[in-house]
Structure 1
Amino acid sequence: MKRILDCRASDFVQMNREELKQSILAAEGRTIISENVVTKSLLPEVSNAELSKAFGADMILLNLFDVFNPGVHGVIAESTFHPNTGSEAGSDRGVIRRLKELTGLPVGVNLEPVDEGADKLETLDTLPEGRRATAASLAEAKTLGFDFICLTGNPKTGVTNEQILQAIQLAKEHFGGLILAGKMHGAGTKGKVTDIDASVRFAEAGADIVLLPAPGTVPGLRERELAAIITAVKDKGALALAAIGTSQEGSDESTIREIALSAKRAGADVFHIGDAGFGGIAVPENIQALSIAIRGRRHTYIRMAASPLR
């Protein structure tokens, strides 16, 4: 088994759930997931996924993707100077396999375990079934070719820890790939974002990677608190992901480095960077800054340069 640092497209295409998890573990806290909005792209000539890979991401996480109406902006190239050429052709059931060919990376999707009875902090959005974590959407995600799913909540969606726990069970039954689960912010509901008991229950229920906010993102989360949760999660056999999902992916590079090193000291195996820079992606240089901070220029440049034909 190779570390994810050493994996290329030909390796990823052969990996199953357990092999992908083991490759992340073997990299010792040097794996990056870049989250992308699919409804737009920063540069119309390419998808945000391709741009993320070009700046050092190891895995791509799609946000706002509807599994029953699949499409990713930028997979069909447009032109900045001729915006009506090459326009998106609507629903495309082959788009995920095409995106994996273009990037040579594992691709995952956010599916949201919405709690209709959540104690709300604000008016919540209504989501289509293709974005919710249901038995049907999880099975469709498998059919489309996703390598992993992330059971979490966007702002204003009403996702709760109780519903995430139920969604993990559904994912084990209907999806079969790598399962990420947890909250990176409140998602429009009251209650603690970081909850050691909930995180342990996620791991016990079968989450391969438990998602947690990185220190310095949600208010009051300190490195020592995150370290305690990560230790408890790892004792249950899961890996830990530290997320920058509070729009700080659009901040300056020094902020990204500070957050990244704090999360690494706390024990994170995976580092997530969100999509709220501009154009549905983190500031691209911040993906690179995150990568250099946690693993140096060597592995960063290799990932940036490696062809999807390898």
Structure 2
Amino acid sequence: MAKRLVSANASDIIKMSAEELKNSIKASEGRVVLTEIVATREAYEPGITGAEIACAFGSNMVLLNGVDIFSPVIEGLGQYDDNNFVELLKQYTGRPIGLNLEPVDTESDMLEDRVVISKGRQASKETFLRANEVGLDFVCLTGNPGVGVSNEAVINAVKIAKENFDGLIIAGKMHGAGVNEPVITVEIAKEIIDAGADIILVPSIGSVPGVRPEQVYEVVDYAHSKDILVMSAIGTSQETSDSETIKRMAIDNKIAGVDIQHIGDAGYHGMSIPENIYDLSVAIRGRRHTITSMSRSINR
């Protein structure tokens, strides 16, 4: 029986299989906080990673963004190489570490100029195999602004990931990613689940215009009926909003029943304002679990 993630020690987490990690998230009953980091940017001071700061403020999981998996740049990590950067991040944080891999659709109907990214940031058989080699706990198949990630490409990438990656697969769009199409519907969620995703990504309630609470409720209910988890994502720069906005979004998403609450990377140092990570955490689980998470030694 897996220990719930909000109560797990680093020594528990390091031994979890993908299925055990999924069960530990589920057992946490909507109280898991995931912080996304643009790991290539310097954090608040040289010599420390954004991941460490995020965990110090209550994050249970860390998602790296903007990292080329074939030539990783992790500011503040110190001495590392292409093979051990994930291992070191796990040592320093005691948390599961994941990476954004983007399913680029070169044929998508774009609403803005396309942003071209390296092959090491794109979802492919080669990057999924490399994700296994470096020991990532999960991948997130989604799109940054202007990259041109479509829902069809996400679905196809999930199928490839299922065959080539051993960790958890999170999939879905946080926002339009530059493409002229709906961000999420229950029909899209069904296709992503059928393709093999472990966790469906939905925009946080209050983040993407026109994504109504009822739509999120429908996706959550369907996913849970299939034993699939759901992560809400604040990926619209609202991670730098005022505290009251963050707390409102957090409670709205908890009412919807999501299992993980993601907070994005659009702050000044490639991450959310740290205080907003804390405020989100307190809103969905109170000071008891927040302070415990912040205080638990990585040596336990």
* TM-score (norm. length: structure 2): 0.97
Q: Which residue of 2 aligns with 1:303?
A: 293
Matched to 1:49, the amino acid is A
Q: Match of 1:222?
A: 212
Question: Of 48, 51, 54, which residue of structure 2 is paired with 1:52?
Answer: 54
Equivalent of 1:154 in 140, 144, 151: 144
Aligned to 1:19: 20
Task: Answer yes or no: is 1:266 the counterpart of 2:256.
Answer: yes
Q: Name stretches of at least 5 consecutive residues in structure 2 with no aligned partner.
A: none
2:39 match: 38
Within 5 A, what are the aligned runs for 1:90-129?
A: 92-129=82-119
Task: Kindly state the Cα deviation for residue 137 of structure 1 after the two structures are TM-superposed.
Answer: 0.5
CA-CA distance at 1:91 after TM superposition: 5.2
Shift of 1:303: 0.8
Following TM superposition, by how much is the alpha carbon of 1:215 offset from its aligned partner in structure 2, in angstroms? Answer: 0.8
1:211 corresponds in structure 2 to 201
Q: Using the alignment, how far apart are the partners of 1:220 and 1:117 within structure 2?
A: 25
Q: 8 Å contact 1:241–1:269 — kept in the other structure? A: yes
Between the aligned partners of 1:23 and 1:233, the Cα distance in structure 2 is 17
Deviation at residue 203 of structure 1 after TM alignment? 1.4
Aligned length: 298
The Cα of 1:228 is off from its aligned counterpart by: 1.2
Q: Render the CA deviation track for 1:71-107: whole Å, top value 9, x for unaligned.
A: 211112xxxxxxxxxxxx6853211100100000000
> In 2, Cα distance between the equivalents of 1:233 and 1:190?
25
Aligned-pair CA distance for 1:55: 0.2
- Name the SS for the 1:298 alignment partner: helix
Partner of 1:198: 188
Partner of 2:8: 7
Q: Where do 5+ consecutive residues of structure 1 fail to align? A: 77-88
The residue aligned with 2:231 is: 241
CA contact (8 A) 1:71 1:90 kept: no
CA displacement, residues 281-307 of structure 1 (integer Å, 9 cap, x when unaligned): 000000000000000001101111111
Question: Residue in 1 aligned with 2:69?
Answer: 67
Q: 1:91 to 1:156 in 2, by over 3 A?
A: farther
Give the match's secondary structure for 1:212: strand
Equivalents in 2 of 1:304, 1:16: separation in Å? 24
Q: SS where residue 171 of structure 1 aligns?
A: helix
Q: CA deviation at 1:45?
A: 2.9
Following the alignment from structure 2 to structure 1, what is the Cα–Cα distance between the partners of residues 260 and 3?
16
String of CA shifts for 1:120-171, please: whole Å, max 9, x gaps. 0111111111000000011001101100000000001100111111111111
- Give distance in 1, aligned partners of 2:214 and 2:248: 15
Q: Does the 8 Å CA contact 1:204/1:236 hold for their aligned counterparts?
A: no
The answer as to whether partners of 1:112 and 1:132 remain within 8 angstroms in 2 is yes
CA distance in 2, matches of 1:204, 1:31: 25
Cross-structure match for 1:80: none
Structure 1 runs (4+) deviating above 4 angstroms are none
CA distance in 2 between counterparts of 1:7 and 1:75 reads: 24
Separation in structure 2 between the aligned mates of residue 24 and residue 90 of structure 1, nearest angstrom: 29
SS of the equivalent of 1:123 reads coil
Counterpart amino acid of residue 247 in structure 2: R
Whether the aligned pair in 1 keeps the contact of 2:43 and 2:75 (CA below 8 Å) is: no
* Cα 1:64–1:158 shift into 2, 3 Å: same
Identity, in percent, stands at 46
Q: Note if contact 1:25-1:239 (Cα within 8 Å) is conserved in structure 2.
A: yes
Is the 1:71–1:91 Cα contact (8 Å) retained in structure 2?
A: no
Tell me how far apart the structure 2 counterparts of residues 142 and 37 of structure 1 sit (CA, whole Å). Answer: 21
Q: CA separation in 2, counterparts of 1:213 and 1:147?
A: 22
Letter in structure 2 aligned against 1:175: F
- CA distance in structure 2 between the aligned counterparts of 1:57 and 1:291, rounded to whole angstroms: 8
Contact preservation (8 Å) 1:203, 1:237 = no
**CA deviation map 1:25-44 (0-9, x unaligned):** 00110001100001113222
Separation of aligned partners in 2, 1:296 and 1:277? 24
Matching residue of 1:141: 131
Q: Aligned partners of 2:247 and 2:55: how far apart in 1?
A: 19
